[in-house]
Amino acid sequence: MKAYGAEFIGTFWLVLGGCGSAVLAAAFPGVGIGLLGVSLAFGLTVLTMAYALGHVSGAHFNPAVSVGLWVAGRFPAGRLLPYIVAQVAGGLAGAGVLYLVATGKAGFDVSAGFASNGFGEHSPGGYSLLAAALIEVVLTAGFLIVILGATSSGAPQNLAPVAIGLALTLIHLISIPVTNTSVNPARSTAVALFVGDWAVSQLWLFWVAPIAGAVAGALIHRGLSDD
């Protein structure tokens, strides 16, 4: 239960910090943090909570990561569903807090996006379904390769959270214009449920593509590593 609680808290922090930076701070007049700041915020959420809670749960904070670790033989199948439930619940809690804060400003419109992921007319840059699917699969695969490599027995000790956090920052720098960056079904679900409508109708992609990418990344790592 401690591990499930850690996954809840870590995913809560990721959604509140990452999506919160996008909703509250990205375009703040005069000092908005923009794409660079939002990318860094997502990386920092994982880095900080990986150090804080990694020893409790392994710091997945992402259903795709949990699936990838299972495929790689690093995580037992029996804990997969409870981890995913805890992650989705934590993400929803984070989005709930963010919603309460954001609606404290007059004129806030959740239908404008609320940091939701999308493709086509709901892609920040107008990218197609194919482009969105491809970037999510490839970047999630890369993320799993980094995670598995950084936590392997031959990797430098105690630096895995840094590598993983920087990898997530890089992923956001690449793909915010394409999909608003998911690579994490819990993060996508959390904000989409508050937006409803198009965000929910497109949510399937942000489960299918990250999980497919995670499986691919895990298989690639197993083919390259002796760990």
> Contact 88/186 with Cβ under 8 angstroms?
yes
Residue 1, pLDDT score: 86
Q: How far apart (Å, rounded) are the C-alpha atoms in residues 185 and 20?
A: 17
Over 80: is that where the pLDDT of 79 sits?
A: yes
This prediction's pTM: 0.94
Residue 138, pLDDT score: 98
What are the tens digits of pLDDT across the range 25-39?
A: 988 888 889 999 999
In angstroms, the Cα distances linking 42 to 45, 47, 169, 171, 180 are 5, 9, 6, 10, 12
